[in-house]
Structure 1
Amino acid sequence: MNGRQWRTTIAAAQAGDRRALDELVEGWLPLVYNIVGRALNGHADVDDVVQETMLRAVDNLGTLRDPDSFRSWLVAIAMRQIRDRARRRTSESLADDAAQEATDFAELTVLRLQLEGQRREVAEAVRWLDDEDRQLLSLWWLEVAGELTRRELAAAVGISRQHTAVRVQRMKARLEAARGIVRALDSSCPGLREVTARWDGRPDSVWRKRLARHIRGCRRCAAPGEAVVPAERLLVGLALVPIPVGFTLSLALGGKTAAAATTAATGVGWSAKVVAALTKPAVAMTAGATIVAGGAYVVTQPDSAPPRAAAPPTAASTSRPKAPSPTAKPSPSPSPSRTRQALYGTVVDALDKAPDPGARPGDLPRRPETGITSTGGPKAVMQHRGDSVTLSGRGYVLVRWQISPKSRPGALVMPAWTGLKGKLFHVASGGGRRMDDTFAENADGYTSGMGGPRVGYTVLPAGTQQMWQNEYFYVDGTVTLVQNERGADYGLIVFPSNRDAVTEDILTGPAQGAIRYGLVRDTGEDTAPVPQYVTRSTPADASTVRQKSRVTG
């Protein structure tokens, strides 16, 4: 859901629309859970603080004057609840923390997001931070992951952006020191074993300083063994930690029973669906899913006009070589139903040639849009082999590529579309850049392209069509996209989209280093290309899906 749609939803909720309130609770609960969970490192109080945050947000929604500030307003409420909880804790409760500890959020982050290597190291290092640093990190982590802006982070902390920058830098320095401790504890340094002989295994600030002092003076522990990647580069684009199985938000209204709580909640405008979402355990979530209690994120678009024939081909749409197609000369006088069935999925595989840098693509044909439901929410981030997202409905989807040859070059195993029910078309390529364009690296060290001599190359399987930074698809039915990362390092971000967004992307032209216009593959008919790696079956290993732009069965 884009900003305009959220503004509409918030305004509707303020006006008493219960369905809009449902969407707000379902859409923003995962963000609040991640902020509170990481700030409290999974303490048993997480449930209460998240619950209190959501209750206060709903109770005070009418006081929000600017819907554009909803996210920063909600985050500020969460941070106030976290600080209030800290003030309420007494010395006696501090002594009972060991008994009150619930799921370690650092461990939950590692398991639910399947983190490995230095990403795992960052998550585990969080345990060594003080409460104040963890609170700040809970926001900074989400800023780096693209869930919050720096303005929203500063507003939540309640200080200026300049002061926020200073505090973030100090927190990052302590985080890097904690990463060094995590690495050292995995080593076999005799001196470190001697230092930790009387350590009870619980991270705290005293032992952090002792271990950091040893590491600074120990050649063995200070040597990282591999290049240390800055934490912000490791966290960029990571998904929210999914709400775990068994996580429950009960309506704790004065100790009332569930029935009484339901009555009280509906009395203040809560719909039955919201009450259900806040009183039932969440269902099992796959890595990258961010929606709670059976909810799903839906992009709703008005019904469009029926599909029409594509505009005459342009240089952009005809620049790729054509291969003989069995649809070029249809058999005479077939029935319409048989023609549609025969035409779908019969595009012959052929390597496409990028259009000239100055060639503008033709118009994108108009297809019906009723909305796409995504199990991954508004932004499904798939960083590891086996991550997947299921898309259902009728509408457009953006798959954004992130190739990391600087992290791990080599042979790339393409993602696959599996379990297709209905139709799937590859309609356009955008983002202004094909992945085989010149390797580039910006000031922050982020890379784009397939690589270069200095960092190595990412190599596509023989015969695979070259992808662009933004690849657009049209779904009419249900299909699952599976990340098959093996060898070369890459990530995918999947967004429900719409025709207007696709058109804007492919017609924007070169900007911010982009060097090419997009490419339109859609004809508006069933003869439009389908992805090369797509199947109606659901194989145990999605990487075995054949490279064949043809769907049968």
Structure 2
Amino acid sequence: MDSQHWRATITAAQSGDRQALDELVAGWLPLVYNIVGRALNGHADVDDVVQETMLRAVDNLGSLRDPDSFRSWLVAIAMRQIRDRARRRTADRLEEAPAADFAELTVLRLQLEGQRREVAEAARWLDDEDRQLLSLWWLEVAGELTRRELAAAVGVTRQHAAVRVQRMKERLETSRGIVRALDGACPDLRELTGRWNGRPDSVWRKRLARHIRGCGYCGGTHETVVPAERLLVGIALVPLPVGFTLSLAFGGKTAVAATSAGWSAKLLGALTKPAVAMTAGATIVAGGAYVVTQPPDAPPPRAVVTPTATATSEPQPSATPTPTPTPTPSPSAKRKADLYGTVVDAVDRAPDPDARPAALPRRPESGITSTGGPRAVMQHRGDSVTLSGRGYVLVRWQISPHARPGGVVMPTWTGLKGKLFHVASGGSRRMDDPLPGAPNGYATGMGGPDIGYAVLPPGTQQMWQNEYFYVDGTVTLTQNERGCDYGIAVFPSDWEAVDKDVNEGPAQGAIRYGLVRDTGTDSAPVPQYVTRSTPADPATVPQRSRV
């Protein structure tokens, strides 16, 4: 159907035309179903996310100022609901198997064979972020979306989208090789997969990819491998399943749903708001002026987070190397503040580059053992290291917005037995320090408009290249990467190394001196993300923990 017809249909639906709304929803439901279904790989939540997307589209239809932008607007709503669903899901839902494997549905309903089938099945091996991007890119090469719409839905520029798509395609090609190898008869591969539970995940993707690279049988190309984009050109949308229908109608100025058995009953009561009245409070503004597409615990990547205090906490004074507890009105409150387990809630200001750090108190050291050895490197979500003993630990950051910009999902400390302090920050720079000679002073670690931004959750202290902690007991540090790409290295350290690092400032050619947080007592700050419990998903640790 041509764009002129859709423009007229959207305008009529905004005016309260019952038939136009029905046609609009029926016409665009398959697109939303394909995006959500592929992004979630047929998970049981697909129905809920699709219906919530359509509900929000109906609720906010009156806010759409340009009917020509309806498709990109609708896709952005769908992507937001997918990310919101990731935030809401509980540990038991995380492990829940798909209700209907979308890769299998794609193969069966579109009758895909050969390498087209291989591409569809390879999607199972992608991480959530890649699968979400694949859901859009698949429709782009199939002619259902434009690159501009894909970039708007992801929340990046077209140039950044190209980089992200290229990296996703590389992982998709790796996954295609795994699908191909698993269909083969390599005895070594059969032995390797004897311990595999049959469920694709990133750990086994890496193991199998490593085997394929070193295996002459699995790594051999027995046929010409056609690029995925050539295989997907012009491919149809996956048809809706039987009973998967949604009919919307206006009742006066109220939307009413008539659903088949395939939809949950909660939809009937949800569509009772005026469909054209929500303009000022709309979540999505037409034309892509503002689209929330970052992970739910991070702000949109529009600028580097500035080191200012949050609304609920006071900033620490500039150039004050040791943060002081928030002033308290009574002696009893002061005693509570001195108890172990206080988190520095303020987003601390950067000390002046020439401000020398406070003296670092010396704590007892008997040595730290690490399950990751003397140098544990954590590059992927779920990587963890357990530290035991009494001594100093260095956590060294490497932010990579050029690989994948977006919100930073912070690492967390779990299973704490004993005490853990945040004692100092070093590495001669903060992650938001401008790189000398960089255009417009774009930050070294948090990115820039040419590569995308890494954005900290609101209220998070700005990170330094090196962060030092003191462990007296046992604790596990977990990498929770979901948005921005980052890695962290964990080194057992000692007092001399920490003291030397924080005191190496501009005189040695670095950007600034370090910062000492340790008071030498139990009033020293603990990390913002720490708990004594061991949650199924470490990323759920609250930001302002109390231990």
- The answer to which structure, 1 or 2, has the higher relative contact order (CA under 8 A, 6+ apart) is 2
- TM-score, length basis structure 2: 0.47
